[in-house]
Each structure stands twice: as C-alpha cells, then as structure tokens.
Structure 1
Amino acid sequence: MRGAMELEPELLLQEARENVEAAQSYRRELGHRLEGLREARRQIKESASQTRDVLKQHFNDLKGTLGKLLDERLVTLLQEVDAIEQETIKPLDDCQKLIEHGVNTAEDLVREGEIAMRGGVGEENEKLWSFTKKASHIQLDSLPEVPLLVDVPCLSAQLDDSILNIVKDHIFKHGTVASRPPVQIEELIEKPGGIIVRWCKVDDDFTAQDYRLQFRKCTSNHFEDVYVGSETEFIVLHIDPNVDYQFRVCARGDGRQEWSPWSVPQIGHSTLVPHEWTAGFEGYSLSSRRNIALRNDSESSGVLYSRAPTYFCGQTLTFRLKTIKQPDHAAWLMPKFVISCSFWCLSVALQVLWFYSSKPPHSHLQWPPGAVFVNGKEMTNQLPAVTSGSTVTFDIEAVTLGTSNNNEGGHFKLRVTISSNNREVVFDWLLDQSCGSLYFGCSFFYPGWKVLVF
C-alpha cells in the first residue's frame, strides 16, 4: 500500500507531462487551422477585390467602346445627310440661277421699254422699233419648271427605339459572378522530370468543351500554356526536381468562345530525378535536358544507355515516339524495347525501337518485331507496331512470395506490365537477386527516329 502511495506522485507527474504534450499538440493543430482560416479568408477577400476590379474595368471598357461606336455611327449618318442634301440641292440651285437671270433680264427690258414709250410715235419711232425687236428675241412666254414639294427630297431619320430594350436586355444578362470556378485541379502526381496534373468539373451545370492548363515556377510572375484540349489529365514535362510550380486550369463552355475563371492555383513539385540519356554515344544526339534522343546516322550500331539507374519498381516508365522513319529492310534490323537488371535482361521488340534497364548484356539485338524476351527466352505475347506519337510504358512491381518459399529456389519475382497502343503484356520476371533500381536504353537502326523518356 505504501509502495503504491510512493508511485502515485510519479504517475501524476507522468500524466501531467502527457497532458501538457497533448495540450501543446492541440495548440499546434489549432494554430494550423487558424492559418488555414486566414488563408481561406485571404482567398475570399483577394478574389472578391480582383473580381471587383475586373468588373469595373470591363464595364468601363464597354462604356468607352459603346460610346465610340455610337459616335462613329452618328458621324456616318450625318455624312449620309450631307451627301443627300448636296446631291439634291444642286438642281434647285441651278434652277434658281436661271430664274434670277430671267428676272434681271425682264427688269432690264421693262426699263428699256418705258424709256422708249415716253418719246411717243414721232421722233422716237426708231427706239420703239429697236425695243420691240429685242423683246421678240427674249421668249417672254418661256418659264422654267419648278419641281413640286412632293417631288423633292424631304430628309428624315428613322430611329428604332426598340434597340434600347434589346440593349437593355443584353446588358442585364451580361456577365455573371461565380463563387467558385467550374473546374479545379484534383491531383498532382510527381514523375521523374514531370508532374501529372489531373482536374475535374465542380459545377454540374457547366458543360466543358475544352480545358486550358497553365503552369509557372513559383518564382516567376508569368503563367504559360502547356495544354489545351478535351482531356482532364496532362503530364507537364521539363520539371526541375525539388522546385515548386504553380498550376491552374480553366474551361471553355460548349459553344462558347470565352474561357471560364481560373481554378485556385495548386503548388506541386517532383522529388524524382529526371530520366536522362547518356551523352556522347556515337550515332545519337540529345536534347538540352537529355530526355530526348535522336538517331542521326546509321553508320554506328551502338546502344544508347541511360545516364543512371533512375527507374524504380512501382513507377511507370514511359517512352514516347516523337518521330519515326518507316524501315524498308529486314524486320530484324528494327529497334526493340528492353529492361534489364545486372545480368538478367527483359526485352520487348516492337516495330522500330527498344528499351531496357541496367547494364545491357549485348550491344546488338536481333529479334522479330513485336516479340517479348525474358532472360533471352521469347514469350508468346506480341505487341502492335508503333507509329509517330505512340507510347510504350513499363510498370514493374515486386511480388511478395510466401514465407515458405520466399525466394522460390533463390529467385526474386518482378511483375512486369508492358503497354503499347491499347495492348499490354503482363508476366512475372524471375531474378537471382533483387534489383533496387534499373537502367534503360534504346537502339535505332534507321536515322530520324526520336524518342522521349519520362
């Protein structure tokens, strides 16, 4: 009883320590949640402020553009009025000049006649004769025709006031405010030298026709387009390891021209070392990032290897044919795919290229196209021919053996899935020892073949 009493303070002290640690952990978690709330509040406030600025700018631009368009239309109509006025007033001006000339002529004739008549018939007989002769040549009975008012233009403006209602209806329906974008980034998956970006719709009423994906380094102020299309997944390549990147996506509604608002930017990075080819191999040239290999001559027959064993079980190793050259010689000259580990080699011979992993057992491989070889033994499965844009993927996972036969006679088992053009081959690969990482390589007989690895 006394021993228990002596231990009680120690138990109380231990319990107190645990409670303090629990309280500290609780406080830390609450702090994280407060920071999350602050971020959420900041997002709402900043997005609301940005939306206000966008709306104000847009409607100010609309007012300026509409005012400019109305001014231009007014100038056009006034010019039409001026043209009609000038064109139709000219005949009237000509008629007026003719009449005014006739009036002046008549006035002169009246004055001359009155003077002639004052002298009587006697000595002024010659003046009367001269006046009468002059008057007979003037054609005093000929009057110019003046058009009736109904026959001359009467200008007016036809203005349809219903345009105000039409414009008003369009203005009242113009623009919407959404509480969240219609699409959001769903997942970021790291790859060697790349990141797979997946997104999804979050607005069921929105029908997407195309998506647009952008990314940038977090240290950059400029986003750049990396994908526009109908897919909801894309792998962004040329990603530097251990560098943060921001990704955002938007969508274009069915039958629409404008893009939706951008999704909330998501930050992702890859810790995986990019796959690279080894530089300096005869017959091959590499891109600046050394992830694209081009066969540039057919004189040398060497094999191009990876710079390091950067492929690990559980990953997907992908080879994409950027360009191909259709061979016209024997099928056994066509390149193949291969994976190898130490002294064991897994090979896949397709129509025109091949890959493997770990130090290769041979520098020349002569197998039928489409064949699959495991440790030199041909499998029965065949893969289809590849074309430009085709991809070949390797997925390898370690198979856990039973405890009674953990290594099946000293072998380790890897399950390999090889996919190409919607066809795949799955089999188990037995090795005498485990392999932590694998090399890969390629060999092309014909120049002009280019392959990307990621």
Structure 2
Amino acid sequence: MSESEEKASSTSERLREEYRKHVKSQISLDLVDTISTIEQHHEQLLELCEQINLAKKQVTDSASNTKTTINTVFENFLAAVTDTVNERCQKLIEEVEKVQEEALDPLEQCSQMLEAKVREAAERVEQGKRLQKHGGVLAKDTVIRFQEEAGAMTSLPEVPALCAVPSVSVEFPSDPSLIEGMHQLLVDAGSVSRMGPVQITNIVEKPGALLVSWEEVDEDVSDDGIEFYLQCSTAGATDPKHATFICRYKGPDYSYLLRDIYAGESYLLRVASRREGATSLGPWSLIQSAKTTISHFRWQQRANSSWTIADEGRLASKVNSELEVLHSDGPLLTPGTSVLFKVACGGVGCSDEGLGLTCKPITGPEQLLYQGALFLNTQGCVFLDGVSRVTWLPAIQEGVHVSFAVERVSSIKLRVYIECQDKQVTYEWGVPDAHSGLYFVASFGEPCWRLSVH
C-alpha cells in the first residue's frame, strides 16, 4: 500500500472513530433527555395520583361527614319528637283525669247518700217485718210511729241523667291524618347535594387582604333574592373541624375584599347562600385555605412628626396643630388594588385638609394642588393635577369611610375610583408610569383627627 493510500485509510478510520464517538455522545445525550422527560412524566403521574387520592378522600370524607350529620339530625329529631309525643300524651291524660275527677266528686257524694238511704230503707223493712210478727202484743202507738217514719221515706233523691254526666273522649286530626302529616314531613326533610350550590372560584392576594370570588354551580338558577355569606377562620387555622369561623360578609355580591388579615398567616374560607323566603342557609362550599404574602398598608413613621403611628402602622393620630402631610410607607397603592380610610375622629376641616394620592412624596400641603396629585379635601371637592372637578363628594368627617381604587388603562394612564359615603366618582388620570405604585397621603392640622388605613 502506498503512503498516500495509508494516509487516506488513516484519515478515514479517524473520521469513522470520530463519527462513532459523536453518535455515542449524541445517543448518551438523547438518553439523558429521554430519562429526564420520563422522570418529569413520572413526577406528573405521581402528582395526578396525589390529586386523585385527594379527590377520593374528599368524596369519602364529605360523604362520611354528611352521613354523620344526617344521623345526628334525625336522632335529635327523633328525640325531640319522642319528648314532644310523651309531653302531649301526658298533658291529654292529665286533662282526662281532671275531667274525671271533677265529674266523679259530686257523683260519689250522691252515691254515698243513696247508699245511706238504701241501708236505712232496708233497716225499716226489717223493722216492719219484726213488728208484723209481734203485731198482737205491740202497742198501737208503736205501730203508728213506725208508719209515720216509713211515710217520711217515700221521697227519692235527685240523680243526674246520663246525658248530663261527662262522657270523656278525645279528637285527633283525621284529614289529613296526624300520621300522614308526620310522614310527609319526614319525606320532605333534607336534600343531598353532590356539591354545595355556591363555590369559591378565585382568591387573589392583596396588601393585607384577599379578594375572594365565588359562583353558583347551577347556572340555570336565578340570582334574584339571593344572599351570600362569606365566613373566614381565625388566623393560622388549618383543620376545618376545629376552626372558629366568623362571618365577614353578607350580601348579594359575588366577591368581597377580605381586609385586615395578617400577611403569611393561613385562613380557611367558605361561602353559602340563602334565597329569599328561606329560613336557613344552604350547604357550605368546599373550604379553601389561603393567605396573602403582601404586607398590609401602613403609614410612614418619622421622628419629630406631628403624627403618631400605632396598630402596626395602620392607625395615625394627629398630636399637634402643625399642618403636615402624612405619607404611606412607600408607593404601596399599585394598579389593581384599593385603599380604604376610616376616620375614627375628626373635626370640621379646612379646604387644604383631606386625603389623596401622589406620584411621589411631597413636602407640603400646597403640593396637593400640583401636577401629579389627586386630592379630596374635607369639604368633598376633588382636585386632579390641581384642577377642581365639578362633582363633589360628601364631606370628610368623623365616622366616614373613603376609598381610592386604582386600575391601569394604559402605560401612562390610570383610572381612579373615589368613593365616600356610598357616592362614587371616576377619573382618568395621566401619570408618568402607570405600572408603578402611588403614595396615599393625609393632610390635617388640628389634633382631633385620627384615621386608619386598610
């Protein structure tokens, strides 16, 4: 073999070896990818198995709990019916005995009198027979006295007729009969549902709050005259059987912003409904566990301020007459959220006092009438970028609740809803960056003002 042929053969062998290594490496990589895919598939199957096990447990547990409820209800019902039947039976018997006693007392007296007269008459008969045997030897006066005494006994005492004497009886309903009525009551008692008619469909985290939404499972049922009840457990509850539930909302809405909850704490939620005319709530929904990881709204706490902050930053109290703008602890109000102010104490208020939103921190109350501020003063006048608006809201005073809700319209525009005492206004507000948050602010002078933020 020539040198050129040897080089060609060597090159060919090297290329074949490199190709084999490449193929082997590719196969190894493909195998790793395949194994990884199968492992992911295996994990997904395990998750599905866990999900189906949870589903089976939900069916089994709910059925068991429902059977326990049915047994308890009917045991209580049976006990109540037995007690009621016994009480009614005893009452009727007592009434019969009373009538019997009242009717027998005079009859017993009459009977005793008759028995005495019967005995007296029998004795007179025996006396007469003895006189008859000795008639020849008796004095005439003795016979005459006997005849006089016998004549006085001819009158009969008065005895009541049977129609005048009680004949005790009792009446029971017969159309429908008492038993048929009770039977129908039991037939109609209770109704089993595959699932509660109302279910929680969505829970969204908000600052120190949860936005809870629900829907009716049966879409064909009208929502006229329906009222929903949302209950929330105390913080940290995990076991529904031992949780303490508190009603947090009652009304016709299909969602509710559950405020004043602690970030990081778990809460159990459930909802039920009651239609107009119903005397009790329907079945509860599946219990949902939820929590918010977003801290609640709070005021900024600064040294040498005319405001004091309490209740974990929620409550602000004015301590002197210096007019100072109080800020939130950062740009906390982001699009899609709302802030609620509750005025615990307040005075009359001036035109430069009130509540508002700003794009950035401000140094004085006059800047609430500048560009980049939305201000509602205590008289109810709204200023948007320093321009007063036509529609006025109720005045801000003690006991009033004011809310600002913000949603994003575009990258440079927000829509703001302001509500005070059930009256609402809406504004389109151009801001430099509608994606970032806003500061909420309070500007008051007199030390009588105290307000909380939620």
Stretches of structure 1 that go unaligned for 5 or more consecutive residues are 353-367, 401-412
Q: C-alpha distance in 1, partners of 2:184/2:220?
A: 23
SS in 2 for 1:186: strand
Alpha-carbon shift at residue 307 of structure 1 (Å): 6.0
Instruction: Determine if contact 1:196/1:233 at 8 Å carries over to the other structure.
Output: yes
Task: After TM superposition, give the deviation of residue 127 of structure 1 in Å.
Answer: 1.9
3-state SS of paired residue (2:72): helix
Q: Does residue 305 in structure 1 map to residue 320 in structure 2?
A: no
Paired position in structure 2 for 1:362: none
Cα distance in structure 1, aligned partners of 2:106 and 2:309? 83
Q: CA deviation at 1:210?
A: 1.9
Tell me what 1:288 maps to: 311
Shift of 1:270: 1.0
What's the offset of the Cα at 1:40? Answer: 0.5
- Alignment match, 2:24: 9
SS in 1 for 2:376: coil
The farther-off stretch of 415-424 and 21-30 is 415-424
Deviation sequence 1:178-234 (CA, Å, 0-9, x none): 111101001111111111111111123555622221222334632322222222212
AA at the equivalent of 1:443: S
Match for 2:430 among 409, 428, 431? 428
Q: Is 1:269 matched up with 2:324?
A: no
Deviates more, 1:34-43 or 1:195-204: 195-204
Which letter does structure 1 place at the counterpart of 2:120? T
Residues 282 and 134 of structure 1, relative CA distance in 2, 3 Å threshold: farther
1:391 to 2:405 alignment: no
Deviation at 1:157, TM superposition (A): 2.8
Match of 1:339 in 2: 358
Judge which range, 245-254 or 38-47, deviates more. Answer: 245-254
- Equivalent AA in structure 2 for residue 151 of structure 1: A
**Among 209, 214, 232, the residue aligned to 1:215:** 232
**Cα offset, 1:273, TM superposition:** 1.4
Alpha-carbon separation, structure 1, partners of 2:332 and 2:394: 25
Deviation at 1:64, TM superposition (A): 1.1
Q: Which residue of 2 aligns with 1:242?
A: 264
CA contact (8 A) 2:328 2:441 kept: no
Q: Does the 8 Å contact 2:237/2:243 carry over to 1?
A: no
| Residue 187 (structure 2) pairs with residue 164 (structure 1) | no
Once residues 330 and 51 of structure 2 are traced to their aligned partners in structure 1, the CA distance between those partners, rounded to angstroms, is 40
SS at match of 2:211: strand
Q: Which moved more, 1:286-295 or 1:27-36?
A: 286-295
- Per the TM alignment, residue 121 of structure 1 is displaced from its structure 2 partner at its CA by 6.5
CA offset digits 1:269-294 (Å, max 9, x no partner)? 11111112356887766663442445
> Counterpart amino acid of 2:109?
D
Larger CA deviation: 308-317 vs 273-282? 273-282
Report the more deviating stretch, 72-81 or 90-99.
90-99
Secondary structure, in 3 states, of the residue corresponding to 2:196? coil
Letter in 2 for 1:425: Y
Cα distance in 2 for residues equivalent to 1:448 and 1:234 = 32
Matched, 1:175 2:190: yes
Q: Does 1:23 align with 2:38?
A: yes
- SS at structure 1 position matched to 2:339: strand
Measure, in 2, the Cα distance between the counterparts of 1:64 and 1:124.
82
For residue 301 of structure 1, report the CA deviation from its aligned partner. 3.5
Q: Could you tell me which amino acid in structure 1 is paired with residue 329 of structure 2?
A: A
Provide the TM-score with structure 2 as the length reference.
0.80
Say if 1:104 and 1:207 are closer, same or farther in 2 by CA, change over 3 A: farther
> May I ask how many residue pairs the two structures share in their alignment?
417
For residues 35 and 281 of structure 1, the distance between their equivalents in structure 2, rounded to whole angstroms, comes to 57
Q: Is the 8 A contact 1:184 1:201 kept in 2?
A: yes
TM (norm. structure 1) is 0.80
> Could you say which residue in structure 2 is the equivalent of 1:46?
61
Q: Deviations over 1:381-420 (max 9, x none)?
A: 65522565543214265964xxxxxxxxxxxx56462423
SS in 2 for 1:341: coil
Change (3 A) 1:141 1:234: same
Once residues 94 and 430 of structure 1 are traced to their aligned partners in structure 2, the CA distance between those partners, rounded to angstroms, is 109
Q: Return the alpha-carbon distance in structure 2 between the equivalents of residues 148 and 141 of structure 1.
A: 21
Alignment of 1:143 with 2:156, yes or no, is yes
Q: Is residue 70 of structure 1 aligned with residue 85 of structure 2?
A: yes
Structure 2 vs 1, CA of residues 200 and 351 (structure 1 numbering), >3 Å: closer, same or farther? Answer: same
Larger deviation: 171-180 or 385-394? Answer: 385-394
SS at match of 1:270: coil
CA distance in 2, matches of 1:447, 1:83: 77
Partners of 1:318 and 1:393 within 8 A in 2 = yes
| Cα drift, residue 253 of structure 1 | 3.0
